[in-house]
């Protein structure tokens, strides 16, 4: 399957921008959760010594995601990111946010309109693997994802 790449002068399709907007909103929300005291205690209990770095790493990841999107002609509108944050904002454990990041990266990777060049494909797959591993560490029972990195449907979902 050939994927069309948007030039820097050409706007990406709206669904592609929506996927990247969703990713950035989820990164921001995960960063906020990582700064909360109960999450810091949870990370420390898992053996992370410098728990404050988790949020900083997510912030850097969001900045890199913005640069990646921009380099492929995907215009990120801050107002849309803020709107999506408002839609997603709810009290949730770190596991839920990590699951959301895994799914967001997967949706971008699988979207037929997404620009997919070698470095972007590797970056998306790498970030997906990292967050899947983080999810497995935080949720060792595996209730949220299976070993292949595919998210199971919630019970009762059709």
Contact predicate 32/114, CB 8 Å: no
| pTM more than 0.95 | no
Helix (H, G, I), strand (E, B) or coil at 157: coil
Domain 14-138 of CATH type 1.20.1260: yes
The pLDDT tens digits for 97-144 are 999 999 999 999 999 888 878 888 899 999 999 999 999 988 877 644
| CA nearest to 23, candidates 124, 138, 139 | 124
Where do the domains of the chain lie?
14-138
Q: Is the dihedral of CA 131, 23, 97, 41 positive or negative?
A: positive
Report pLDDT for 12: 81
């Amino acid at each position: 399957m050939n994927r069309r790449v948007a030039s820097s002068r050409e706007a990406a399709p709206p669904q592609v921008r929506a996927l990247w907007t969703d990713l950035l909103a989820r990164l921001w929300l995960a960063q906020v959760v990582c700064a909360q005291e109960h999450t810091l205690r949870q990370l420390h209990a898992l053996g992370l010594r410098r728990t404050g770095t988790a949020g900083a790493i997510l912030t850097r990841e969001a900045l890199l995601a913005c640069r990646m999107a921009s380099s492929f002609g995907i215009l990120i509108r801050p107002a849309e990111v803020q709107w999506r944050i408002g839609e997603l904002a709810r009290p949730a454990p770190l596991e839920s946010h990590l699951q959301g990041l895994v799914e967001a990266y997967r949706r971008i990777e699988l979207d037929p309109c997404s620009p997919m060049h070698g470095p972007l494909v590797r970056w998306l797959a790498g970030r997906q693997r990292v967050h899947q591993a983080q999810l497995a560490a935080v949720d060792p029972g595996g209730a949220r994802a299976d070993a292949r990195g595919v998210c199971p449907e919630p019970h009762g979902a059709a």
